[in-house]
C-alpha cells in the first residue's frame, strides 16, 4: 500500500487533513511542581475531541521556576475549540472548576495573539466584589493586569486575560499499522513522546494515542461518525479493508498545535521516531487519515515529512 | 469557635450538609496498570462539580488482576450526577471519549444496584453494525452480557450495562483551618489519603482539596454562588469573618460516596488522620460546611465522627 | 391554611424565595413584526430553567417601530443565567443560532448596566474577516458601535455589546390552588398576562405556567429534586399533603426580572388579577414556594403584595 | 449558472449533500390545541443545528383528536441528533423541561422504529417513587406501557418509550437567489409551507429559513465554519462570488426528515412551490449546497426533483 519509506518502514504517499481551530494557552504555577501538575491534569481531562468534550486540551510543557512569571514551578496548557466563542467558554469553565479550586495555583496568559480572552477579568466575579485589580510590569517591561481573588487559602492570582492565536490547527495525525499490540503501542508511545517535544503541540487523547478511528457516517442507525471498519483488524476479511494481511493492530496519534508549522514538525518528529524503532517492533507501515481533501484546509503530506526534524 | 476536640485539635460542633445524588461505578482494565490509569485519569478529569462539569468523578481504587473480570490490571471509577438521566449521559460521553478511544482498554460494570445504565449497549452504535453481543458467566455464575466493538487495535470489550445505586450522597466535607499554607496542605493531603482509603468514596477536586469555598448568592452581580468571604484569610479584618486571628489558610475536602455510610466513614477517617498530624502542622481547628440544614437531606455531625474508624 | 385574603380568596401568609441571577436584555428587530417574533420565539425556546436548559428566557415586550433603534418592529428579549460567564455563553449561542440565522433580523443592546457582554463583537468572527465596524450616535447622542456581518440576505447588523444588569432576580412565584383544571388554568393564564405586563419581567415556562413543582431531594434514587408530593392532588390522602380536600389542581407561575422590584410588582399584579377572577373560577387559595428562607436572598411576602399595583 | 429550469426559473444542475442523523418523534397532546402547541413550540425552540443546540427539532403536524392516542388535540414533534445517545439525551432534557412542566400535557411515542428510547421510563424518576406504570392496549390492540407521574395538576401521562428510526437524514437544502428581500422571503415562505407539508419532514431554522449560510473553515481566526462569502450579496464584487449581478439576496431552507425519501419529497415540493411563484417574485435561480460530495452520504440532485410531487 505504500510508495515511500523511512528507516525501512513503508510510508503511504498520502496526507493528514486538518482543520482551522481556535487555540489558546495558559500557564499554571504552584508552590510545587507536583501541585501544578495536579491542577493541569484535571483541567485537561475529558478533552479529547471538540465535538464530544467541548474542547481539546493537553499539557504542552512543564516549566521551571525560571520560565514562569512568578518564579514558581509551572505547566503550560494548550486549549483548542471550534471557534473563538466556544474556546472562551471552555477556558473559563475549566479554569473556574480546576484551577481556581486548586490550592496554591496562580494562572497566567500562556501565549501572545491578536484576540483577547478574558480570564481573571471574568473569574473575578467569583470574588463577590472583594477581588482587586493589580498592574505589574513583566520581565519585558510591559504592564500586565492581574486580579487577586480572595479564596480560603489566600488569594487566587489570575491574569486579566490571555490571548487566542491566529492559525491554530487541529487534527494532524499518523496511523501506525503494526503486527502485535504491545509492540505497536510501544511505537506509538515513542511517537507521542517525540510529537509532544515540539513546542506548541499537544496530543489530546489518553496517553496521546487513539484506537477508535472513525469514518464519516455509517451504514445504519443515524450515526454521523462510526468505526472506521476499513482499519479494523477483526474486519480484515471483508471487502473494503485497507489493511495488509500481516497487520494485526492500528494505532493513531492526533496532534493539535498553535501553528500549522507546529503540526507539521510534530508529525515529522513522530514519523521519524516511530520508524526508527519500527523494524524492531514489527511496524508494518505508516499512513495518515483524511477526508479526501475537501473538508480541512490543511494537508500534511507524509512525503514532505521524510526529511529529518531540524534538517530544513 | 469549637466545643469539641480530637487529638488535641479543636473541632467545631457542627455538621456537613450533603445531598442525594445519582451514582454509579465502572471498572476499566488494560494490559498494563499504567494504561488503565491513563484512561481513568482522563475520564475523571474536569469532573469537580456537577453544576460546572456535568459530573463529579474520581478513582476509587486500583485493582489487581485478581480483582477484575478479565484478569488484567484495572481501576474502579466512580461517577456522580444530579439525577439518573444526567448520570447516564455523562457516563456515556466520558466512556465514549476516554475509554473507547484508549488503546487496550475494556470496560465493565463496577457496582450492583437497582437501575440499569446502558454502557456497551449504547456505545455499540459506534461499531456501525459490526459490534457483536456475547454472553458469559461471571465468577459467581451469573450470565452477563458484553459487546465486542471493532476498533483499530482489535475489539473494545464493553459490558452491556452497569448499574446506578440507590443512596449515593454528594458533598460530605471538612474544613481545615491552619496557620501556614504548606503545613495545612500537608494536613489536607493526609486527610485525602485517609478519606480515599474508604471503599466507595472519592474526592472530586484536584488532589482531593478545594480552596475556593463558596457561599450561596453574593453581594452583587447576579452570582448564585460566590467566594465564602467569611473563610477568606485576607478578609479576616471584616465583620462577619469566621476565622480566628491565628488562622492564615483554610482548605476543604469534599467527599462523594456510593452510600451515606461511605461519606461518614470517609469523613471520619479524614478527621482522625488530619488531627493526628495537626499539632505538628499548626492545625488551628476543623469544621464543616452546611446550608443551615434545610437543603441537603444528609447531615454528618462532627460530634459523631470523634470515635475511631472501625471502633463501632 | 391561610391567614390573609384578597378579593375574598384566602392567601397564605408565606413568601416566595428567589435568587440572585445574572440578567441581560436584547432588542431584535425585523422588517415585519411577524418575523421579529419568529426569531424571538425560537431564541427563547427551551429556556425554562437555568439548570436544565442553561438559561431562562422570555419575551418582555413587543416594540413598535418608534421604540426600536432602527425604526422597525421589534421584540425585547430577557435572558437570565447563573452567573455572568454562563449568561454570556448562552446569549452568544442563542443569538448565533436563532438571530444571526433568521432572515431580516438586526440585534441591539436591550438594557443599560455595569457589565459589558460582547454581542456583535463576538459574532463578527462568523464574518470571516468581512465584518466591518460602524459607529453611530443613538437618539440620545451617545456613540454606539455596531458590526455589519455579511450574510446571504445582505448584512446582519448587530450591536457590539449589550449589558448585564446588577440585581436581577430569578424564581419569584405564586401557587394557585384550584378545584378544576380548566378553571384553574384560566386563573393562571390571567395571572400570567398580568405578570408579563410589568416591564422587565418574564415567565420562562411554557405559557408562563408550571405544573411540575419540585422539592429538594427525594425519597430514593439519587434525585437532587423530585416532584413536590405535598402539592400533588393525587397524593392528597397521604400524610404530609399540604392540600385542602377541595383542591384538585395546583398551578404555579415563576417570574424572573431584571430588578427585585420587578419581581415584586409582577407577583403583585398576578396576585391581584388571579384573585379578582378567583371566586368565579373555584380558586381555593394562593400561596408561594420557598426553601425555608436560608437559600435565596430575596423573600417576597404575600402579605406585602395585598395592596393594589401602583397604589404605593 | 444554471443548466436546468423549472417553471421558467433557472435551476442549477447540482445537489444537496445531506447526512445520516439519528431521528425520533413524539406526540404531545393537551386539553386544547392551543396548549399542545405552546408546549411543542417551547420544546422545539433553540434547536436549529445539532452542533450549536444539541438537536434539530420542529413540529411535523398538528393532530386532530382522532389522530392522537388519548382523543385530545395534539402535535407531532420530530427531533434529530448526531447519534442515538445524543438524541436520547436531548429528548429527555427537552421533554423534562418543556412537556413535563406544561399544564395538561401528555406525551406518547410518535414513530415506530428499531431502537427504543426511554421516555416516561426515564422521566418517572421525577415522580420520586410515586409514579406508577400502566399497561394499555392501543387502537391496534398492541399492549403499550405508560407511566403516570404525579404532578401538581394531577398526573403526567407519559409513554414508557418512543423509538428511534433507521435512516433519518439531516441537511437537505435549497438556496433561493432573488432580487429583493421581501419578494425572496415570500418565495422562501411558500417553499417552507410546501416542504413542511410532507409528513416526517421539518425545517429547523426560524420560520424554516436561513440567511447565514456557512462554508467549512475560514480565512483566519480559528473558525471551523464561517460566512459563505461566495453567496453574500454585499461581497458580490469580489473574486469567488457565486452570485449573478442581478442577485441581491439569497435565502436557504434546510430540511431534516425521518427518511431519505422524505427529504427528497420535501425538497421537491419546495422546489416546485417556489418556482411556481418565482417569476412574479423576481426569483433569479435555485441551487443547493454541498461539500463536494465526500462528506454526506445522501446526495439530492435537483435534476431528479424536476418532476412534479406525486407524479412518480
Asked whether the beta carbons of residue D294 and residue A292 sit closer than 8 angstroms, the reply is yes
Helix (H) or strand (E) holding A204: none
- With contact defined as 3+ CB pairs under 8 Å, the chains touching A are B, C, D
pLDDT at C217 over 80: no
Asked whether the beta carbons of residue C125 and residue A89 sit closer than 8 angstroms, the reply is no
Handedness of CA C39, C45, C50, C53 (dihedral sign): negative
Q: In this predicted structure, what is the pLDDT of residue C226?
A: 81
Smallest CA–CA distance, residue A310 to chain B, in Å, is 31
User: How far apart are alpha carbons C223 and C212 in whole angstroms?
Assistant: 15
pLDDT tens digits for range C265-312: 999 999 999 999 999 999 999 999 998 887 788 999 999 999 988 754
Same CATH topology for C4-19+168-305 and C22-165: the answer is: yes
List CB contacts (< 8 A) between A123 and chain C: 85
Q: Which of D105, B53, C48 is nearest to A42 (CA)?
A: B53
User: How far apart are alpha carbons A70 and D96 in whole angstroms?
Assistant: 48
**What DSSP character marks residue C308?**
P
pLDDT at A219 over 80: no
Interface of A with B in 173-202 (CB under 8 A): 175, 181-182, 184-185, 188
User: How far apart are alpha carbons A141 and B75 in whole angstroms?
Assistant: 49
- With contact defined as 3+ CB pairs under 8 Å, the chains touching D are A, B, C
Asked whether the beta carbons of residue A222 and residue D295 sit closer than 8 angstroms, the reply is no
List CB contacts (< 8 A) between D84 and chain B: 122, 125
Least CB–CB distance from D295: residue in A51, A84, A291: A291
Size (chain A), residues = 312
Write out B259-297 in H/E/C secondary structure.
CHHHHHHHHHHHHHHHHHCCHHHCEEEEECCCCCCCCCC
Which residue from C minimizes the CA distance to B115?
A: C221
Q: In this predicted structure, what is the pLDDT of residue C44?
A: 98
pLDDT at A222 over 90: no
Supply C260's cell numbers.
427585585
Give the β-pairing of A9-11 and B106-109: unpaired
List CB contacts (< 8 A) between D54 and chain B: none
Asked whether the beta carbons of residue D92 and residue B85 sit closer than 8 angstroms, the reply is yes
Question: Is D25 an 8 Å CB contact of chain A?
Answer: no
Interface of D with C in 126-165 (CB under 8 A): 126-130, 149-156
Contact C10, C295 (CB under 8 A): no
A174-195 average pLDDT score: 98
Which residue from B minimizes the CA distance to C87?
A: B222
Residues 6+ apart with CB under 8 A from A235: A229, A241, B130, B150
Asked whether the beta carbons of residue D128 and residue C219 sit closer than 8 angstroms, the reply is yes
Interface of A with B in 268-297 (CB under 8 A): none
Q: Which of B32, B37, B73 is nearest to A186 (CA)?
A: B32
Least CB–CB distance from C295: residue in B19, B166, B291: B291
Which residue from A minimizes the CA distance to C116?
A: A122
Q: In this predicted structure, what is the pLDDT of residue B51?
A: 86
List CB contacts (< 8 A) between D115 and chain A: 221
Most D-contacting residue of C153, C155, C192, C202 (CB-CB within 10 A), to test interface: C153
List CB contacts (< 8 A) between B181 and chain A: 31, 103-104, 153-154
List CB contacts (< 8 A) between C96 and chain A: 85
List CB contacts (< 8 A) between A224 and chain D: 19-21, 82-83
Asked whether the beta carbons of residue B250 and residue A152 sit closer than 8 angstroms, the reply is yes
pLDDT tens digits for range C109-145: 999 999 999 999 999 988 888 999 999 888 788 899 9
Asked whether the beta carbons of residue B222 and residue C295 sit closer than 8 angstroms, the reply is no
List CB contacts (< 8 A) between C157 and chain D: none
Question: Is C166 an 8 Å CB contact of chain B?
Answer: yes
User: How far apart are alpha carbons C225 and B292 in whole angstroms?
Assistant: 18
Which residue from C minimizes the CA distance to A22?
A: C125
Least CB–CB distance from B35: residue in A153, A154, A207: A207
β-partners of residue D11 are D4, D286
Burial class (CB in 10 A: 0-12, 13-18, 19+), A307: exposed
What is the signed CA dihedral for C59, C61, C65, C68, rounded to 10 degrees? -70
Most C-contacting residue of B85, B167, B168, B222 (CB-CB within 10 A), to test interface: B222
Most C-contacting residue of A81, A89, A127 (CB-CB within 10 A), to test interface: A89
Q: In this predicted structure, what is the pLDDT of residue A221?
A: 47
Handedness of CA C119, C125, C131, C132 (dihedral sign): positive
Most B-contacting residue of A81, A103, A120 (CB-CB within 10 A), to test interface: A103
A244-258, B290-304, C220-234 — most confident range: A244-258
CA A300 to chain centroid, in Å, comes to: 16
Which residue from C minimizes the CA distance to D252?
A: C152
Helix (H) or strand (E) holding C78: strand C74-81
More confident residue, C138 or C255: C255
φ, ψ of residue C18 to 5 degrees: the values are -130, 170
Least CB–CB distance from C222: residue in B22, B294, B296: B22
Least CB–CB distance from D292: residue in A84, A115, A294: A294
Smallest CA–CA distance, residue A122 to chain C, in Å, is 7
Neighbours of D138 (CB within 10 A): 12
Asked whether the beta carbons of residue C98 and residue D154 sit closer than 8 angstroms, the reply is no
pLDDT at A142 over 90: no
Q: In this predicted structure, what is the pLDDT of residue A223?
A: 56
pLDDT tens digits for range D204-252: 999 999 999 887 665 544 555 788 899 999 999 888 899 999 999 999 9
B91-100, D5-14, D121-130: least confident range: D121-130
Angle between helix C33-43 and C84-98 (nearest 10): 130
List CB contacts (< 8 A) between C85 and chain A: 89, 92-93, 96, 122-123, 125
Domain C22-165 classification at class level: alpha beta
Q: Of 1.10.630.10, 3.40.1400.10, 3.90.420.10, 3.30.70.520, which CATH number belongs to B4-19+168-305?
A: 3.30.70.520
Q: In this predicted structure, what is the pLDDT of residue D293?
A: 82
List CB contacts (< 8 A) between A249 and chain B: 152-154
Q: For D240, left (φ over 0), alpha (ψ -120 to 50), or beta?
A: left
Asked whether the beta carbons of residue B207 and residue A130 sit closer than 8 angstroms, the reply is no
Under 8 Å CB pairs connecting chains A and D tally to: 96
Size (chain B), residues = 312
pLDDT tens digits for range C9-27: 999 999 999 999 999 999 9
User: How far apart are alpha carbons A113 and A118 in whole angstroms?
Assistant: 13
Which residues of chain B fall short of a pLDDT of 70? 1-2, 216-224, 311-312
List CB contacts (< 8 A) between B125 and chain D: 83-85
What is the signed CA dihedral for B296, B299, B302, B308, rounded to 10 degrees? -120
Question: Is D244 an 8 Å CB contact of chain C?
Answer: no
Strands (E), chain A: 4-6, 9-11, 15-20, 22-29, 56-63, 74-81, 106-109, 115-118, 132-137, 143-151, 154-159, 161-165, 169-178, 201-202, 209-210, 214-216, 225-227, 249-257, 283-287, 298-301
A170-179, A290-299, C219-228 — most confident range: A170-179
Most A-contacting residue of B152, B174, B192, B230 (CB-CB within 10 A), to test interface: B152
Burial class (CB in 10 A: 0-12, 13-18, 19+), C246: exposed
D280-305 average pLDDT score: 92
Least CB–CB distance from B20: residue in C165, C223, C295: C223
**What DSSP character marks residue C5?**
E
HSE of A51, CA atoms in CB hemisphere, 13 A: 12
Q: In this predicted structure, what is the pLDDT of residue C223?
A: 56
- Residue extents of the structural domains in chain A: 4-19+168-305, 22-165
Amino acid at each position: 500500500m505504500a510508495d515511500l519509506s523511512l528507516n525501512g518502514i513503508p510510508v503511504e504517499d498520502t496526507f493528514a487533513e486538518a482543520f482551522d481551530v481556535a487555540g489558546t494557552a495558559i500557564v499554571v504555577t504552584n508552590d510545587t511542581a507536583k501541585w501544578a501538575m495536579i491542577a493541569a491534569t484535571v483541567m485537561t481531562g475529558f478533552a479529547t475531541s471538540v465535538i464530544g468534550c467541548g474542547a481539546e486540551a493537553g499539557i504542552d510543557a512543564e516549566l521551571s521556576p525560571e520560565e514562569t512569571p512568578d518564579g514558581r514551578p509551572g505547566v503550560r496548557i494548550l486549549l483548542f475549540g471550534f471557534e473563538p466563542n466556544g474556546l472562551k467558554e471552555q477556558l473559563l469553565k475549566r479554569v473556574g472548576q480546576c484551577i481556581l479550586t486548586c490550592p496554591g495555583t496562580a494562572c497566567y496568559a500562556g501565549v501572545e495573539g491578536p484576540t483577547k480572552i478574558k480570564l481573571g477579568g471574568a473569574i473575578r466575579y467569583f470574588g463577590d466584589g472583594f477581588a482587586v485589580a493589580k498592574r505589574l510590569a513583566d520581565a519585558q517591561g510591559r504592564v500586565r493586569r492581574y486580579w487577586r481573588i480572595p479564596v480560603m487559602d489566600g488569594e487566587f492570582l489570575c491574569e486579566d486575560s490571555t490571548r487566542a492565536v491566529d492559525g491554530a490547527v487541529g487534527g494532524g495525525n499518523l496511523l501506525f499499522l503494526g503486527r502485535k499490540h504491545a509492540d505497536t503501542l510501544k511505537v506509538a508511545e515513542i511517537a507521542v513522546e517525540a510529537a509532544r517535544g515540539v513546542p506548541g503541540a499537544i496530543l489530546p487523547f489518553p496517553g496521546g494515542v487513539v484506537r477508535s478511528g472513525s469514518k464519516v457516517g455509517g451504514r445504519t442507525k443515524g450515526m454521523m461518525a462510526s468505526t472506521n471498519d476499513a482499519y479494523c483488524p477483526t474486519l480484515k476479511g471483508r471487502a473494503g479493508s485497507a489493511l495488509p494481511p500481516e497487520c494485526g493492530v492500528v494505532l493513531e496519534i492526533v496532534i493539535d498545535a498553535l501553528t500549522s508549522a507546529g503540526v507539521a514538525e510534530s508529525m515529522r518528529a513522530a514519523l521519524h521516531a516511530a520508524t526508527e524503532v519500527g523494524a524492531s517492533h514489527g511496524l508494518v507501515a505508516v499512513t495518515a487519515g483524511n477526508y479526501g481533501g475537501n473538508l480541512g484546509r490543511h494537508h500534511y503530506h507524509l512525503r514532505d515529512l521524510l526529511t529529518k526534524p531540524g534538517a530544513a
